[in-house]
Amino acid sequence: MEQAISQRAQALPASAIRKYVPLSDALKKTGVSVFHLNIGQPDVATSHLFFDAIRAFHEPVVAYENSAGNPLLKKAISNYYAKLGLEVTPEQCIVTSGGSEALIMAISLVCDPGDQIIIPEPYYTNYNTFAMQNQVEVVPFRTRLEDNFAIHDIQNLEALVTPKTKAILICSPNNPTGAVMSAEELEQVCAIARKHNLFVISDEVYREFAYEGLQSTSLLSKPEMKDLAIVADSVSKRYSICGARVGWIASRNPEVMAAALKFAQARLCVATLEQVAAAEIIDKGHDDIERAKLEYDARRQLAHKMLTQAGLKCGYPQGALYLMVDLGVDAEEFTRFMLTDYSGIEKDKETAMVTPAANFYKTPGQGLTQARIAFVLETPKLEKAIRHLLEGLDEFKKYAKK
């Protein structure tokens, strides 16, 4: 009898965002263009600052970097926060392999197996995976499309706290909903955390992408949360360098940072060259963020307008790069249909791909007709992608009646 992998590994969910990539890859091999609305991969060009810094690297050996991070990068991160009016010393941040490792670290740092973490749903699907890796239970707090996914009914969130609760995980601007927490909502969450002595883990990777004059309030702006606040951040979306895999974990709690350093030492270091280049782009790339923000704002408005004019219910994204739409049909079946039976595959050699939203929810039966759309394609492609999506939806409804 062959030895089996662990039950915990078997139970880990497949990525909802990448689940149908094999189907899309197969189509591409036949010459079909697939417009990817399923993944938050920006097509805004990466700044020359990043590449110039790599070309300027002339060390004779690409050596291990410091486990806590390149000192120049840590200083750049500290300066970045200073420009936001926040004091974060280089010692209060540790460089990680993207925001994902920062979140894995954060959950591992504050939770033991069997503990619970409260997360407003819908939430980024990998939060669930990160929790399951640590045998931590995700307790969902419901937000609704009808309320534009705002965190209302704060009393209901507090009612979820049990002796096993160790943390609340928030994300603003939010993936997948595009919601931006108001200052009042953040204060209410922090008040609950202080009352029950809970950590708050804040995923702030989309910080700059808040639209129409909104500002995303960082958890680090709350001095009263000094010992309970942990922030995960990343350069990936901010500077369109997702593949560089550079992020950081930040906290003013020295015990948290000392423990995080042990995790960092165990995986040795984040890639050396990417850290050098990330330091350069953080120092000098503010204009690139602003240009990207203007571009995403135009795409956001286009996507929302086209979907609502077609009669679909969708959230109005205040930030980030995503919106949630109710397709009115089984989103899993529709996503597969667009990659297998949609007429545009043969007629136009084109189709569009979205992410079914059920896996963004923990509550059974929620999100079955919803999809997440990433408005990361340049405007002409985005418009064409949504037209295919709407045409495919009409076809699918007829197809499903047969």
Burial class of 346 by CB neighbour count within 10 A (0 to 12, 13 to 18, 19+): exposed
The CATH classification of domain 7-45+288-401, taken from the options 3.30.497.10, 3.90.1150.10, 1.10.3720.10, 1.10.150.80: 3.90.1150.10
Digit-coded pLDDT (tens) for 115-140: 999 999 999 999 999 999 999 999 99
Q: Are 37 and 385 in contact, with CB atoms under 8 Å apart?
A: yes
Checking DSSP bridges between strand 322-326 and strand 370-374, what pairing results, if any? Answer: antiparallel
Tokens representing residue 143 in the block? 């937000």
* pLDDT, tens digit, 9 for 90 and up, residues 143-187: 999 999 999 888 999 999 999 999 999 999 999 999 999 999 999
> What CA–CA distance (Å, rounded) separates 390 from 41?
22
pLDDT interval class at 5 (50, 70, 90): confident
Could you please state the CATH topology (level 3) that the domain comprising 48-285 is classified under. Aspartate Aminotransferase; domain 2 (3.40.640)
What is the average pLDDT across 14-19?
71
CA distances from residue 32 to 24, 39, 192 in whole angstroms, order as listed: 9, 18, 51
DSSP secondary structure string for all residues of 264-280: HHHT--S-HHHHHHHHH
List alpha helices for 200-271, DSSP H. 254-266
Question: Which sign, positive or negative, has the C-alpha torsion 362, 363, 364, 365?
Answer: negative
Cβ-Cβ contacts under 8 Å for 169 (sequence gap 6 or more) = 103, 107, 117, 118, 119, 123, 127, 200, 201, 202, 203
pLDDT of residue 156: 93
What would the pLDDT profile of 19-67 be if each residue is shown by its tens digit? Answer: 888 999 999 999 999 999 999 988 999 999 999 999 999 999 999 999 9
Contacts of 311 (CB under 8 A, 6+ apart): none
The full set of domain ranges for the chain reads 7-45+288-401, 48-285
Using a cut of 0.85, tell me whether the model's pTM lies above it. Answer: yes
In angstroms, rounded to a whole number, what is the distance separating the alpha carbons of residues 117 and 138? Answer: 5
80, 150, 205 from 211: Cα distances, Å? 20, 16, 15
Tokens of 45: 């060009």
**Residue whose C-alpha is closest to residue 127's, from 363, 401, 362:** 362
C-beta of residue 176 within 8 angstroms of C-beta of residue 122: yes
Measured distance CA(109)–CA(91) in Å, rounded = 17
Which of 14-23, 67-76, 319-328, 373-382 is the least confident region? 14-23
